[in-house]
Chain A
Amino acid sequence: MDKAKMLQISHRRNLLALAAVFAVLYVLMLTRSISVQYQGVIILIGINVLLATSLNLTTGALGELVLGHAGFMSIGAYTAALFTLHMDLPGLVEFPLALLLGGALAAVFGVIIGIPALRLRGDYLAIVTLGFGEIIRVIIQNMSITGGGRGLYGIEEYTTFPWVFWTSAFGITIMYALIFTRHGRAILSLRENEIAAEAAGIPATRYKVLAFAVSSFFAGVAGGLYAHYITVLDPGTFGFNMSIEILVMVVLGGMGSFTGATLAAVVLTLLPELLRSMSDYRMLLYSIALVLMMILRPQGLLGKKEFSLTRAWEQLRKKAETKGGNA
């Protein structure tokens, strides 16, 4: 059995499944079978999925708790928004450029935050990331180009469903693929046992910084998508609470599992919409979920496992075969 070929088949199947999901949703939207309100929710889901999976790279795969993911997002959001506000290019040109630029600047900050990660033990680093998130917020609130505390208005509404869907899918695919490479194994080994990893020849510095850079890049891209969906930016949005909401998705989905983070992001974006009357209790329920999860199932719903359609299919088939054999 050729492992490479099997993986290639699995990749092709995943791509097909993605295209199918996209086609179904897009047709439903075009025919207005999904209301405008829910189209918005689906766009938010796409953004949150990208946020959760990108946080999963640092917090799940690298094992460093990040409490300022919203900070990276806000850098991407403001950078992208300011770019499209000040550039006078056609949307199809300036929007992808804005997303890339937002991601890139967020990644620069990710590297800056990744550097103390080399010296600090986990819980201290968590506080540094929290501090970073707050610093970014205060700075944005006090700059004139960002509109200060009043916020930024009049951003073009470029973020459509196809944009969100394919950008997020692209980001998740890249991060997911990364895990099955020597680079990904290096990142995972640092989470498992840093000293053993270094003794096995893993350059800890390089891979911590890499994980932070990639993670913050996609948080920045998600920020850019968010800015061009919501069209108004207020620095207060990107506070500690938002960082925690993203963290909850990663924790519930299973730290280290990209499919788990994706699933949790979908559910946790959809649920508050379905339970509008419960909106006052949202953070309350999140906090209870966090505590109970840590006590009862700290590895998250999926643990570190990835859900795979191919694997599920194989297992079903095997079961059917053994049943057939017995009969």
Chain B
Amino acid sequence: MGQALLKVEHLGISFKGLRALDDVNFEIPTSGIIGLIGPNGAGKTTLFNLLTGVYTPTDGAVILDGEVISGKGMGYTVLHGISRTFQNIRLFRDMTVLDNVKVAMHHKMHYNLLESLIKTRRYWAEEEQADREALELLEVFGLREKADMPASGLSYGQQRKLEIARALAASPKLLLLDEPAAGMNNTETRDLMETIAFIRQKFGIAILLIEHDMPLVMGVCERIVVLDYGRVIANGTPDEVRADPRVIGAYLGG
């Protein structure tokens, strides 16, 4: 494992006096796979929203590659290397599968409005480059054949994959996956586990994963952070976490 890519320091947020997260600390190493688990309402999605700039923290900071990125908005975080998927799939349903991916490459292209209207050489070069990259990504997820279909025509499992492909298209250093296995059957989940491991290997990026599917989390993650009532109650290897009495307590409601 390399050095820390992302540091979460004393992170906390309150909504109308309600403490949703309190003094959360953990690190994600470069190209590590970390699981984030916890009972419903523990604050997992809130943490994601803080990491991706949807919310501004009340206290503490999120530091990516030595730079504070919390509180700077969604656009800033994605441009600086954190991409995400959503718990409830959010695709551009009436756009083609290819265009879904290309939207996330927006900031990698540089031709301006005028160039796009008179179709300069740079326009064509960048568009072709984007097409190539996007198709390669779709290939990884077995979606290349579907490139020209509207995203709404994909099966549920394919839609989840397309969301991941789109998130990767922004070339993140850290990929956040919000319940990627939700609604998948066993085969699809196993398939997803392999894909996640493959993504890390191929793109060399770190992954933070919210998941309820314990076999998936235990099987693929190197470390697991456990949240309960907005606090980190455990942080360790799958075996350590599994044996932690506080974790068992939280899940059994003790």
Physical contact A–B (CB less than 8 Å): yes
| Number of residues on chain A facing chain B (CB within 8 A) | 27
Residue A285, interface by CB 8 Å: no
Say how far A94's CB is from chain B's closest CB, in angstroms.
Answer: 26
Decide if A199 touches B131 in the complex (CB within 8 Å). Answer: no
In the complex, B33 has a CB within 8 A of chain A: no
- Considering only CB atoms, which chain B residue lies closest to A188 in the complex? B95
Chain B contact residue count (CB 8 A cutoff): 38
Q: Is A282 in contact with chain B by the CB < 8 A criterion? A: no
Main secondary structure of the interface of B (DSSP, over half): helix
Contacts of A185 in B (CB 8 A): 95, 99, 102-103, 106
Q: Does A174 have its Cβ within 8 Å of any Cβ on chain B?
A: yes
Cross-chain contact of A304 among B79, B94, B167 (Cβ < 8 A): B94
Question: What is the bound-complex CA distance between A202 and B169, given in angstroms?
Answer: 13
0/1 per residue, A179-213, Cβ < 8 Å to B?
00111111011001101111111110000001000
**Is A115 in contact with chain B by the CB < 8 A criterion?**
no
Contact B91 A196 (CB under 8 A): yes
Residue of B nearest to A195 (CB): B90
A135 → B minimal CB distance (Å): 29
In the complex, the answer to whether A186 meets B103 with C-beta atoms within 8 Å is yes
Complex Cα distance, B167 from A304, in Å, reads 25
Kindly state whether residue B93 has any CB partner on chain A within 8 Å: yes
A157 CB to nearest chain B CB (Å): 31
Contact with A along B98-140 (1 / 0, CB 8 A): 0100111111010101001101000110111011000000000
List residues of chain B with CB within 8 A of the CB of A202. 75, 103, 106
CA distance A149 to B240 in the complex (A): 81
Contacts of A203 in B (CB 8 A): 75
- Chain B 131-160, CB-CB to A under 8 Å as 1, else 0, gives 100000000000000000000000000000
Contact B123 A197 (CB under 8 A): no
Q: For the complex, what is the distance from the CA of A189 to the CA of B79, rounded to whole Å?
A: 17
Residues of chain B within 8 A (CB-CB) of A195 are 86, 90
Instruction: Provide the bound-state CA to CA distance between A184 and B102, in Å.
Output: 11
Report if A86 contacts B (CB, 8 A): no
Residue of B nearest to A181 (CB): B116
A contact residues around B94 at 8 Å (CB): 188, 192, 256, 304
Tell whether B52 is near chain A: CB-to-CB under 8 Å.
yes
Q: How far is the CB of A198 from chain B (nearest CB, A)?
A: 5
A-chain residues with CB within 8 Å of residue B109 when the two chains form the complex: 182
Query: Given A174-B117, A178-B116, A196–B86 Cβ distance below 8 Å?
Result: yes
Q: What A residues does B107 contact at CB under 8 A?
A: 201
Q: Which residues of B contact A201 (CB under 8 A)?
A: 75, 78-79, 104, 106-107, 170
B93 contacts A192, C-beta separation under 8 Å:
yes
Apart from A181-B113, A200-B166, what 12 extra A-B contacts exist at CB < 8 Å?
A177-B117, A181-B111, A186-B106, A188-B95, A192-B93, A192-B94, A195-B90, A196-B92, A200-B104, A200-B170, A201-B107, A304-B94
Top-3 shortest CB links A-B:
A192-B92, A181-B116, A196-B90
A-B contact pairs, 15 of them (CB 8 A): A177-B116, A178-B113, A181-B113, A182-B102, A182-B109, A182-B130, A185-B99, A185-B106, A196-B92, A197-B103, A198-B75, A199-B90, A201-B79, A201-B170, A304-B94
